Amino acid sequence: MAWPNPNEYLEALQNPQAVFSDPALRAGRVITDRLGLPRPISGNFAVVFQVETGGKTWAVRCFLRETTDQEQRYAGISRHLAAHRPDYTVGFAYQPQGIRLRGQWYPILKMEWVKGQRLDTHIETLATRSDRAGLETLSRRWGALMAQLRSDQIAHGDLQHGNIVVDEHGQIKLIDYDGMVVPSLAHLRSPELGHRHYQHPTRTSGGGITPENFLNIDNFSAWVIGLSIRLLHIDPTLWQQTAAGDDRLLFAERDFKSLRGAQQPTQPLQLLQTHAQPAVQQAVQQLAELARQESYLRVAPFSSADLLNGAVPLPLPPTTTPLDLGPEPTSAAPPARRTPPAQRPDSLPELSLIHI
């Protein structure tokens, strides 16, 4: 049986008291659109609704399909974040029996709602104002965050504008942990390949990830974001000149392939490659060298120092485990769906909510 689709969740959330198992969500108010219907935010794996209850606001992620080892993953992530307590994550609770539709219980993720701007909106605001000081601050904070992620032994798995929020105090928060990898989960096949406009062309499967290399999952996307901020700091008008913001920052999937020689450069990429400022050309050359590396798992970690001096870090040593370059999980035939058991919501333990 297929899992509920966004419209089914939307219809169900018109009456939260009847569908949620969580007492706070049952008593909550679902944020609606101008038509009075629950306002969904759709993603690849889930549809998200905003619920206000008890003076707090929650993001409720309702999953669109079953993901292998999902409960195990969130349990591992929960334990790891509780141990490290990073300030760039938000509290969440995975509820195996979270919402009832079609006479069945389905899981949800209850996550603290972050007030702020999505990364692309924040960057656009700074670029439009030609706020170079703001872009420099953002660049510095991005570098610090990438270093802290590695120190905390966390790979987010899908660094992109929609999963990054700049809060009211200018601090960067990461959301959406479906693809997150921590040491205890490094042996599992990744369920996520990341947003195509932020990923290295060789990231075509969830295999090949090991306890020795899992921290490298985010390296290329970290560079894509860091270089975009750097370029806009040099020339804020590039946001408009490259028609940025269309589900991306300055670069798109086709640009990465072009830099590897697989296709002709796009007009925005040509503009950057021939820019009057040498620093812009140098930054594009940095990205080109990274895109040409034989595996996304060999791209070196993001470095603010290398970013500023235009250095291209050497590729990391190859892993001892051969990379699995099989078909993408999103394009392959979906696995047989396992219908969630029709158990009472209190029959399985809920993961503890983490307050960061």
pLDDT digits (tens, 9 = 90+) for 2-59: 899 999 999 999 999 999 999 999 999 999 999 999 999 987 789 999 999 999 999 9
The CATH number corresponding to 6-112 among 3.30.200, 2.60.120, 1.10.150, 3.30.470 equals 3.30.200
Predicted pLDDT at 65:
87
Is residue 138 a contact partner of residue 227, using CB atoms and an 8 Å limit?
no
Q: Where in the chain is the domain with CATH 1.10.510.10?
A: 116-309
Token digits of residue 199: 């990923």
**Which of 44, 52, 186 lies closest to 112 in space, CA to CA?**
52
Q: What is the pLDDT of residue 319?
A: 65
Of the chain, the end-to-end C-alpha distance in Å amounts to: 37
Compute the distance between CA of residue 233 and CA of residue 277 in angstroms, rounded to an integer. Answer: 12
- Delimiting residues of CATH 3.30.200 domain(s) in the chain: 6-112
Residue appearing with tokens 């419209």: 7
Residues of the chain scoring pLDDT < 70? 1, 319-356
Query: Which stretches within the chain are classed as H helix?
Result: 6-12, 16-19, 23-26, 70-84, 119-128, 132-151, 219-234, 238-241, 253-259, 267-273, 278-291, 304-309
Tell me the pTM: 0.87
* Pairwise CA distance, residues 243 & 259, whole Å: 19
Half-sphere exposure of residue 218, counting CA atoms within 13 Å on the CB side? 28
User: Which residues on neighbouring strands pair with residue 112, listed in sequence order?
Assistant: 58
Q: At what angle do helices 278-291 and 219-234 cross, to 10 degrees?
A: 170
State the Cα–Cα distance between residues 349 and 27, nearest whole angstrom: 21
pLDDT score for 218: 97
- d(C-alpha 236, C-alpha 229), whole Å: 9
pLDDT at 191: 82
- CATH topology for 116-309? Transferase(Phosphotransferase); domain 1 (1.10.510)
Q: Is 85 exposed, middle or buried (0-12, 13-18, 19+ CB in 10 A)?
A: exposed
Coil, helix or strand for 68?
A: coil
| SS3 at position 15 | coil
Taking only the tens place, the pLDDT of each residue in 104-116 is: 999 999 999 999 9
DSSP 20: B
Residue showing tokens 């706020």: 131
Burial category of 58 from C-beta neighbours within 10 Å (exposed 0-12, middle 13-18, buried 19 and up): buried
Q: What is the CA radius of gyration of the chain?
A: 21
Return the pLDDT at 142: 98
